[in-house]
């Protein structure tokens, strides 16, 4: 009889056990519900209503493969900084040293910096080893000046102290596309008078024998100014500037006489601004830069 009575006896025998059973009856289901909600909420939905169906995601999926960008040919050119071009193009190899490229911020750049700005720019434009010419960019999209800025950025980030290359002069509005008729285009007012005077001066000196370089000209100062300013155009022939060392391009200019070349450099000619844009340079240094370029083209 006692054994049968024990079989039907409740496991809860004290008030404490009763309270524990009641609390567990409430807490356990709540904990289970919270865990289920967290489990469902942390899993990304793949069906309708998921993040794949947002307006932005749909727009990205149906976006056209090609895009047409219209640019104003007469608008001033906006050049990329060295850092911008580095991040957009050069970092693909120079950030990690891939394919033997000198890694930015390391001693790999020391022998390159020793070559000087001209040497590094020449290599960048022509390509070397696994690096294609111009780093794979097109001259229509990236100018020599922008490539030079990227070189200076990487070299200076690796221990160099190269000066920022001078920006090329912006062409005057409406200058591009002027029809060539074999004679100077007609100008108006003071511009016409100035153009006529310049043409007369050039014509009078056309048959003169080239004068000797200015006595005591400082070619070292000229080289320094060329490397920091003049090369922006004369290193690659930007805007029809006579290319450094190109004897054929410099021959007709040398034939006009050194004084004429000095005057053109000091006061500007066509797309070249006075002093090549180096307003703070002395007249003697500008003349020395001309002498330096002339000496390289003889």
Pseudo-torsion of CA 101, 106, 111, 112, nearest 10°?
50
Is the pLDDT reported for residue 113 higher than 60? yes
Question: What is the number of other CB atoms lying within 10 angstroms of the CB of residue 248?
Answer: 9
Is the pLDDT reported for residue 163 higher than 90? yes
According to DSSP, the residues that pair with 269 across neighbouring strands are: 272
Residue 224, domain member (yes or no)? yes
Percent of the chain past pLDDT 90, that is, above it, reads: 17
Residue 8, domain member (yes or no)? no
Residue 4 confidence (pLDDT): 52
Residue 12, domain member (yes or no)? no
> CA-to-CA distance for 54 and 84, rounded, in angstroms?
32
Residue 150 confidence (pLDDT): 92
pLDDT-based confidence at residue 213 (cuts at 50, 70, 90):
very low
**Residue whose structure tokens are 């054929």:** 248
Residue where a domain stops, chosen among 114, 135, 157: 157
When pLDDT is averaged across residues 78-88 and rounded to a whole number, the result is 89
Arithmetic mean of pLDDT over the chain: 76
Residue where a domain stops, chosen among 136, 157, 178: 157
CATH number at residue 124: 1.10.760.10
Residue 144, domain member (yes or no)? yes
Domain of residue 139 covers 82-157
Is the pLDDT reported for residue 58 higher than 60? yes
Residue 101, domain member (yes or no)? yes
Is the pLDDT reported for residue 184 higher than 90? no
pLDDT in tens, 27-49: 889 999 999 888 877 665 555 55
Tell me the whole-structure pTM to 2 decimals: 0.39
Residue where a domain stops, chosen among 157, 175, 194: 157
Residue 29, domain member (yes or no)? no
The candidate with the shortest Cα–Cα distance to 265, out of 251, 281, 252, is: 281
Residue 229, domain member (yes or no)? yes
Residue 33 confidence (pLDDT): 92
- Total tally of structural domains belonging to the chain: 2
Residue 163's region, left for phi above 0, alpha for psi from -120 to 50, else beta, is beta
> CA-to-CA distance for 294 and 287, rounded, in angstroms?
10
């Amino acid at each position: 009889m006692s054994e049968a009575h024990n079989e039907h006896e409740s496991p809860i025998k004290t008030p404490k056990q009763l309270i524990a059973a009641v609390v567990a009856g409430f807490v356990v289901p709540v904990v289970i519900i919270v865990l289920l909600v967290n489990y469902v909420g942390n899993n990304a939905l793949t069906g309708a209503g998921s993040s794949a169906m947002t307006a932005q995601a749909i727009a990205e999926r149906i976006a056209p493969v090609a895009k047409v960008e219209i640019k104003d040919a007469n608008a001033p050119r906006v050049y990329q900084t060295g850092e911008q071009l580095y991040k957009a193009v050069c970092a693909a190899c120079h950030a990690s040293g891939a394919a033997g490229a000198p890694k930015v911020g390391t001693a790999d750049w020391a022998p390159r910096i020793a070559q000087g700005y001209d040497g590094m720019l020449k290599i960048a434009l022509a390509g070397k080893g696994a690096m294609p010419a111009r780093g794979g960019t097109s001259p229509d999209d990236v100018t020599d000046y922008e490539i030079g800025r990227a070189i200076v950025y990487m070299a200076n980030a690796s221990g160099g102290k190269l000066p920022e290359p001078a920006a090329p002069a912006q062409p005057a509005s409406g200058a591009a596309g002027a029809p060539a008729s074999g004679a100077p285009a007609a100008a108006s007012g003071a511009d016409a008078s100035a153009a006529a005077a310049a043409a007369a001066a050039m014509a009078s000196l056309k048959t003169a024998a080239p004068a000797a370089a200015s006595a005591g000209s400082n070619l070292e100062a000229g080289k320094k100014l060329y490397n920091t300013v003049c090369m922006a155009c004369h290193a690659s022939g930007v805007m029809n500037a006579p290319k450094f060392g190109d004897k054929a391009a410099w021959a007709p200019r040398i034939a006009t006489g050194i004084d004429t070349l000095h005057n053109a450099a000091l006061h500007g000619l066509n797309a070249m601004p006075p002093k090549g844009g180096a307003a703070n340079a002395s007249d003697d240094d500008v003349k020395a830069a001309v002498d330096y370029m002339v000496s390289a083209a003889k």
